[in-house]
Structure 1
Amino acid sequence: MAVEAGASAGAASLRIPAVSVVMPVFNARETLAQAVASIRRQRRVQVELICVDDGSTDGSLALLAEMAAAYPELRVIAQPHRGIVAALNTGLEAARYALIARMDADDVAHPERLARQAAFLLNHPPVGVVGTRVRSFPKRAVSDAFYAYEAWSNRLVQPEDIAREIYIESPIVHPSAMYRRDEVLRLGGYRDVPWPEDYDLWLRYHQAGYHLAKLSQVLLGWRMYPERLSFSDPRCSLGGFIRCKAHFLAHDPRVRRGPVIIWGAGMTGRRLGKELMREGVDIEAFVDITPRSIGRTRHGRPVHAIDYLRETRRFVIVAVPAAHARAEIRAQLRAWGREEGRDFLFAA
């Protein structure tokens, strides 16, 4: 499904859309005013901004009350500290409009962000979630790993690209997302799970048959700093992501019918294989190119050379985390008559 990711056209673009922006707030006083100001500057859209203060202790709630006095569209909800999932669900329940946009209290939205995303969703009913390209800032705080993630995520715009690589990483930056309130509630809202709540939601959208897409413009400034939740929360660790992937792969019909083969007997493949087996996935074997791994076992399963794949049509899960290796592995599997999506997928 190819979609136009730029400005929208058609009858839907003639209406002024209404969007509820859900912004969890926890000890964000230093950046809060800039984030709220970027929502106030949104053009060609009717906005309500729902700020859910999650028990801040730095004066964030007082600042929110002050800003709400000057900005009638700002609704402030205060609750004891219960974490981001509870804050997000509180915001979803309070939202008055059919479209929900996510926003963090430390990021900056482009003035056209909400209007463009709303028009896109109105013009593309099969798309359940639309994100935007993002740019991390300030440069001094952005690690090489996050630059690599940003570049990878920004390359994924069309639904088929996102679907192809959805098990590699979370394909949409959470505070850049917009979706429909009725659909997200139908899917159960945000869940308190031992992995990232946004990746969990995107994978539920994907497995429910919705498309995920992204606008081709950079419409969100994504602030990096050492205290960011994704740097410190164990749910956002490598182990958390692997558990998330294993859980959803185990419910993927291509994997569930098993047995499957894992390409990659290194750390990532071993950990993913262990979690898949816990989820009940039947793993036939691992394959690898490393001589010291070939002939050994992983979790009681043999490790073969990759030529083993010439002899079988088992579905292959590629768990090699080196981004540069994807093109080589993809080319090799295609040379053996394998079709990506039908016969193999990447999970790292």
Structure 2
Amino acid sequence: MPLVSVLMPCYQAADTLAAAMESLVGQTLPDFEIVAVDDGSSDATWDVLSAFASRDARVRPLRIPHGGIVAALQAGLSHCRGGLVARMDADDVCLPDRLASQAALFANDPGLGVASCRVRFGGCRTASAGYAGYVDWINSLLSHEEMAKARFVEAPLAHPSAMVRADLLRACGGWREGRFPEDYDLWLRLFALGARFAKCPDELLVWNDPPGRLSRTHENYAPEAFYATKADYLAQWLAQSALTWPEVTVWGAGRVARRRAALLGGHGARIVAYVDIDPRKIGNHVHGVPVIGREDLPAPGETFVLSYVGSRGAREEIGEYLAMRGYVEGTDFLHVA
């Protein structure tokens, strides 16, 4: 049995697939297989996979009717034989040491569940400034603690950069179909189950940003889908961890912050106050909830603060202020989005 199974769904990927495959067969780790799933492509995807399989026995292509990425991932997972499953996309490129570096993290830590790596942005930083900024953000999160605290802001790792213990992946049911991003749902589920995450400090994957990327085109990756998914898992976490649950204080009295925070109401949360620094808002009430200044926050332990402010530099400033007041991130407050 191979140590690592690389699981790569492929759909209409003939233009980029050869580069992705070359980057995999050239890995420095010798003990792995590539389970490449052709998700009913009508282009030359299957021909490319077949050509690689004919020259390298580690390549195990699988062809299925088109059913979407979750169906392809689940079909591929059933064919993976390795104790570790590494994700890869057919339009990305691995650096030579990717599999070896991530497998080493598992070898050195038997309790590790998920290992990722820093990624190199493969798009135009000018045309895709938001995506490039997201790459910079996930690259700043290396430890389990950093990723765990940030998980309700956004997915703290890139899906095609991940390697997961196969038994853990199967035990949690793998990827799920639904009106939500399948990767983000998986990470939130694994965090909720207590899995530990790590991230290699090196850039080991070029994460390309083609116009047809699913996260740009599919409704499951729309902002509303992310917010609804986050609210579900955030409410579960708060119910277990926040001493004042179901009462919470929301930092941010603007329309966007209130709309996102309102999703928690469907899970039993009760917002007792909004915090804002705008003197025109302080002292008002929004649907009966008072808007207070930050100086009016009660002592730590008397409320749990959810900061929904995402403007540049705001999270750092709010975090520093709350820390100065004695609030502890993860115990008394969280940054969310």
**TM-score, L = length of structure 2:** 0.93
Alignment partner for residue 329 of structure 1, among 318, 322, 336?
318
Alignment partner for residue 266 of structure 2, among 259, 278, 286?
278
d(CA) in 2 for partners of 1:75, 1:142: 37
| SS at structure 1 position matched to 2:179 | coil
CA, structure 1 residues 130+191, in 2 after alignment: closer, same or farther (shift >3 Å)? same
Superposition pairs of residues 137-176 of structure 1, within 5 angstroms: 137-139=122-124, 143-176=128-161
Instruction: Name which of structure 1's ranges 255-264 and 100-109 shifts more when overlaid on structure 2.
Output: 255-264
User: What are structure 1's unaligned runs of at least 5 residues?
Assistant: 1-15
d(CA) in 1 for partners of 2:126, 2:76: 29
d(CA) in 2 for partners of 1:45, 1:308: 60
d(CA) in 2 for partners of 1:137, 1:217: 15
| SS at structure 2 position matched to 1:332 | helix
CA, structure 1 residues 200+46, in 2 after alignment: closer, same or farther (shift >3 Å)? same
Contact 2:118-2:205 at 8 Å conserved across structures: yes
d(CA) in 2 for partners of 1:261, 1:183: 35
- In the alignment, is residue 238 of structure 1 matched against residue 226 of structure 2? no
Alignment partner for residue 80 of structure 1, among 57, 65, 71?
65
Deviations 1:86-145 (A, max 9, x none): 111111111011100000000000111001101111211232111010011143686111
Contact 2:246-2:268 at 8 Å conserved across structures: no
How far the C-alpha of 1:296 sits from its partner, in A, is 4.3
Q: State the identity %.
A: 42
d(CA) in 2 for partners of 1:137, 1:97: 29
Deviations 1:206-248 (A, max 9, x none): 1111211100000001111111111112222221221111010
- In the alignment, is residue 265 of structure 1 matched against residue 253 of structure 2? yes
d(CA) in 2 for partners of 1:257, 1:310: 15
How far the C-alpha of 1:347 sits from its partner, in A, is 0.5
Alignment partner for residue 219 of structure 1, among 192, 204, 213?
204
- In the alignment, is residue 346 of structure 1 matched against residue 319 of structure 2? no
d(CA) in 2 for partners of 1:209, 1:344: 20
- In the alignment, is residue 306 of structure 1 matched against residue 291 of structure 2? no
d(CA) in 2 for partners of 1:296, 1:80: 57
CA, structure 1 residues 331+140, in 2 after alignment: closer, same or farther (shift >3 Å)? closer
User: What are structure 2's unaligned runs of at least 5 residues?
Assistant: none
How far the C-alpha of 1:299 sits from its partner, in A, is 5.4
Contact 1:136-1:142 at 8 Å conserved across structures: no
Contact 1:26-1:60 at 8 Å conserved across structures: yes
Contact 2:2-2:33 at 8 Å conserved across structures: no
CA, structure 1 residues 298+89, in 2 after alignment: closer, same or farther (shift >3 Å)? farther
d(CA) in 2 for partners of 1:338, 1:115: 40
Structure-2 residue corresponding to 1:288: 276
Q: What is the count of residue pairs matched by the alignment?
A: 333
- In the alignment, is residue 186 of structure 1 matched against residue 175 of structure 2? no
CA, structure 1 residues 26+67, in 2 after alignment: closer, same or farther (shift >3 Å)? same
Instruction: Name which of structure 1's ranges 292-301 and 305-314 shifts more when overlaid on structure 2.
Output: 292-301
Provide runs of 4+ in structure 1 moved above 6 Å. none
- In the alignment, is residue 54 of structure 1 matched against residue 39 of structure 2? yes
How far the C-alpha of 1:308 sits from its partner, in A, is 2.9
d(CA) in 1 for partners of 2:170, 2:88: 18
RMSD value, Cα: 1.9
How far the C-alpha of 1:267 sits from its partner, in A, is 3.7
d(CA) in 1 for partners of 2:256, 2:35: 39
CA, structure 1 residues 292+241, in 2 after alignment: closer, same or farther (shift >3 Å)? farther
Structure-1 residue corresponding to 2:28: 43
How far the C-alpha of 1:187 sits from its partner, in A, is 1.1
CA, structure 1 residues 189+298, in 2 after alignment: closer, same or farther (shift >3 Å)? farther
Deviations 1:188-223 (A, max 9, x none): 111113221111111111111121110000000111
Q: Tell me the amino acid that sits aligned with residue 186 of structure 1.
A: A
How far the C-alpha of 1:17 sits from its partner, in A, is 6.8
| SS at structure 2 position matched to 1:250 | helix
d(CA) in 1 for partners of 2:24, 2:137: 27
**TM-score, L = length of structure 1:** 0.90
| SS at structure 2 position matched to 1:31 | helix
Contact 1:141-1:225 at 8 Å conserved across structures: no
d(CA) in 2 for partners of 1:265, 1:193: 31
- In the alignment, is residue 110 of structure 1 matched against residue 98 of structure 2? no
Contact 1:45-1:114 at 8 Å conserved across structures: no
